[in-house]
Chain A
Amino acid sequence: MASVVLSEAEKLYIVHGVQEDLRVDGRGCEDYRCAEVETDVVSNTSGSARAKLGHTDILVGVKAEMGTPKLEKPDEGYLEFFVDCSANATPEFEGRGGEELGTEISNTLYRIFSSESCVDLKSLCINPREHCWVLYVDVLLLECGGNLFDAISIAVKAALFNTRIPKVRVLEDEEGSKEIELSDDPYDCIRLNVDEVPCVVTLSKIGYRHVVDATLQEEACSLASLLISVTSKGALTCMKKVGKGSLDPESIFEMMETGKRVGKSLHTSLQKILDEEESLGTTRQKVGFLG
Chain B
Amino acid sequence: MAPRWPQGRSCQQPAWRAEGACGSGRRRGAARTQHGGDGDAAAGGPQGGEAERGAGRREAPGGAGGHHHHGHGLHEGPRHLRGRGEAHRLGGRRRGEGEQAGVRQSTEDQVQQKRWKVETNSRLDSVLLLSSMNLPGGELRRRSAEDELAMRDYLQEGDLISAEVQSVFSDGAVSLHTRSLKYGKLGQGVLVQVSPSLVKRQKTHFHDLPCGASVILGNNGFIWIYPTPEQKDEEAGGFTTNLEPVPLSDREVISRLRNCIVALVTQKLMLFDTSILYCYEASLPHQIKDILKPEVMEEIVLETRQRLLDLEG
Contact = CB atoms under 8 A, between A and B. Distances in A.
A24 B188 contact: no
B298 to A, nearest CB: 13
Interface in A14-50: 16-17, 20, 22-28, 31, 33-34
A33 B189 CA distance: 21
A278 interface: no
B160 A7 contact: yes
A68 B262 CA distance: 51
Given A4-B79, A22-B252, A13 B190 contact: yes
A9 B259 contact: no
Interface string B241-270: 101011010011001101100100000000
Contacts of A34: 292-294
A290 interface: no
Interface string B57-84: 0000000000000000000000110001
A10 B189 contact: yes
B243 A26 contact: no
Contacts of B246: 13, 16
B80 A22 contact: no
Contact of A9 (B188, B251, B288): B188
Nearest to B247: A20
Contacts of B256: 26
B255 A22 contact: yes
Contact of A22 (B107, B158, B187, B248): B248
Contact of A13 (B188, B262, B288, B291): B188
Contacts of A17: 251
A91 B88 contact: yes
A7 B289 contact: no
B262 to A, nearest CB: 8
A6 interface: yes
B287 interface: yes
B158 A5 contact: yes
A12 B188 contact: yes
B292 A5 contact: no
Contacts of A12: 188, 243
B295 to A, nearest CB: 10
A9 B291 contact: no
Contacts of A25: 255, 258-259, 262, 288-289, 292
B245 A16 contact: yes
B186 interface: yes
Nearest to B289: A26
Contacts of B107: 5, 7
Contacts of A33: 292
Given A4-B79, A26-B255, A34-B292, A10 B160 contact: yes
B273 interface: no
Contacts of B258: 24-26
B189 A13 contact: yes
A23 B186 CA distance: 20
Interface in B132-160: 157-160
Contacts of B255: 22-26
B191 A20 contact: no
A7 to B, nearest CB: 5
Given A5-B80, A5-B107, A10-B160, A24 B190 contact: yes
B186 A7 contact: yes
A9 B241 contact: yes
Interface string B191-213: 10000000000000000000000
Nearest to A14: B190
Given A22-B251, A26-B287, A9 B187 contact: yes
A81 to B, nearest CB: 31
Contact of B189 (A9, A22, A26): A9
Given A4-B79, A22-B255, A25-B255, A9 B186 contact: yes
A91 B252 CA distance: 34
Contacts of B185: 7
A30 to B, nearest CB: 11
B155 to A, nearest CB: 10
A159 to B, nearest CB: 23
A27 B188 contact: no
Contacts of A26: 252, 255-256, 258-259, 287-289, 291
A9 B248 CA distance: 17
B254 to A, nearest CB: 8
B280 to A, nearest CB: 13
A34 B160 CA distance: 29
Contacts of A91: 84, 88
A58 B251 CA distance: 31
Contacts of B243: 9, 12
Given A5-B80, A10-B191, A12-B188, 7 more contacts: A8-B158, A10-B189, A12-B243, A16-B246, A24-B258, A26-B289, A34-B294
The 7 closest A-B pairs by CB, nearest first: A26-B288, A5-B79, A5-B158, A26-B289, A26-B255, A13-B188, A16-B245
Interface of B: 79-80, 84, 88, 107, 157-160, 185-191, 241, 243, 245-246, 248, 251-252, 255-256, 258-259, 262, 287-289, 291-294
24 contacts: A4-B79, A5-B157, A6-B79, A7-B158, A7-B160, A9-B186, A9-B241, A9-B243, A10-B190, A12-B243, A13-B188, A13-B189, A16-B246, A20-B248, A22-B252, A23-B255, A24-B258, A26-B255, A26-B287, A26-B289, A31-B289, A34-B292, A34-B293, A91-B88
